[in-house]
Amino acid sequence: MAIVEQISRDLTEAMKAKEADRLSALRMIKTALKLRETELPSGVDDTEAIKVLNTLLTQRRDAAEQFRAGGRLELAQKEEGEARLIQTYLPAAASEEDVKKAIAAAIAEVGASSMKDMGAVMKSVRSKLEGKTVDGKSLSDLIKAALSGG
């Protein structure tokens, strides 16, 4: 079943079950997907839906971090709950071992020798790990460490 269809069904279930928090998060996801659908002439397929969900996930994590820093724990917990819900629609995360192998292969493939090559390495690693969920910040940190001789 397509991700967009699954979200619509889950939205209906959340309405029937009167799950306010889940319903709110699913409406936010559906709105983001609908917005993206208006931008694309061909509609939103699973690949595009995953990109939208990854963006939403990053936004939720950043917001939770900001709320925690500001001492707003209840809002941080709400954002973290939404992040967990979003993750349920994403493919399995790449293991740390998979990521490290992909980075090593990408560095060799690109012939990277310094931080100037980071963009090319990042692009290559993302293509190698396509279909798996990878946190961009941790990926960036791992590539920086590998390029700086770490």
Amino acid 81: pLDDT: 92
- Please identify, in words, the CATH class of the domain defined by 96-147: mainly alpha
Delimit the domains of the chain by residue range.
3-87, 96-147
- pLDDT tens digits along 33-53: 999 989 888 878 888 888 898
In CATH terms, are 3-87 and 96-147 the same topology? no
Residues counted in the chain: 150
For the chain, the maximum distance between any two Cα atoms, rounded to a whole number of angstroms, is 56
Instruction: Please enumerate in sequence order all residues whose Cβ is within 8 A of that of 144, keeping only pairs 6 or more positions apart, or say none.
Output: 115, 118, 150
pTM over 0.85: no
Residues 56/28, Cβ–Cβ less than 8 Å? yes
Please enumerate in sequence order all residues whose Cβ is within 8 A of that of 82, keeping only pairs 6 or more positions apart, or say none.
25, 28, 60
Q: Encode pLDDT of 54-108 as tens digits.
A: 899 989 999 999 999 999 999 999 999 999 999 888 887 777 788 788 888 888 8
* CATH no., domain 3-87: 1.10.1510.10
The pLDDT, as a whole number, for residue 128 is 79
